[in-house]
Amino acid sequence: MIPIAYWRNRKLYTRLIGSRCKKCGAEYYPPVKVCKKCGSVEIEEKEMPKTGTIVSFTKLTEPPVDFKDYAPVYLAMIRLDNGILVLGQLADAESEEIKIGAKVMATIRKWTEDGQSGIIYYGYKFKII
């Protein structure tokens, strides 16, 4: 059975969808319903930039069960080009390439696969550019 929640929310997994306050212009990721800066509820959906810079990273040698086949897993705090900080998994990167200050770009990659149904789940990860 296909998980309905994943498919209904797939744009949140495959695109960096945040929000922007129409009143003061503040941007948020993940999306908010009330502006933390001015309290306005006049919020619109906004796609975040696909590029940014690594500000911190870590290597998981024993990742969660669903990611054990991909060990080691690299996670990074990334400052997008609009200043928003996001946490993301790094893909297609060798350990010597991963450095603070490295430029990255969001890309769509396989996250996991449901062994019973064979459904593949996709989402964004970041690759070094």
Residues 54 and 64 grouped into a single domain: yes
Q: What is the mean pLDDT of residues 94-98?
A: 90
Return d(Cα 102, Cα 38) in angstroms, integer.
Answer: 33
Residues 40 and 59 grouped into a single domain: no
Q: Report how many domains make up the chain.
A: 2
pLDDT in tens, 6-44: 656 666 667 899 999 999 999 999 999 999 999 999 999
Q: What is the mean pLDDT of residues 78-103?
A: 94
Residues 11 and 33 grouped into a single domain: yes
Question: Above 80 in pLDDT, residue 108?
Answer: yes
Residues 69 and 19 grouped into a single domain: no
Contact between 104 and 76 (Cβ < 8 Å):
yes
Residues 115 and 97 grouped into a single domain: yes
Domain assignment of residue 57, given as a range: 49-129
Question: Which of 13, 32, 48 represents a domain boundary (last residue)?
Answer: 48
Quick one: what percent of the chain has pLDDT higher than 70? Answer: 88
Mean pLDDT over the full length of the chain: 88
Residues 60 and 101 grouped into a single domain: yes
Residues 117 and 86 grouped into a single domain: yes
Residues 31 and 44 grouped into a single domain: yes
Contact between 55 and 63 (Cβ < 8 Å):
no
pLDDT in tens, 37-69: 999 999 999 999 999 999 999 999 888 887 777
List the helix and strand counts (H, then E) for the chain: 2, 8
Q: What is the mean pLDDT of residues 72-80?
A: 95
Residues 18 and 63 grouped into a single domain: no
> What confidence tier does 1 reach under pLDDT thresholds 50, 70, 90?
very low
Question: Count of CB atoms within 10 A of residue 18's CB?
Answer: 22
Residues 90 and 127 grouped into a single domain: yes
Residues 56 and 74 grouped into a single domain: yes
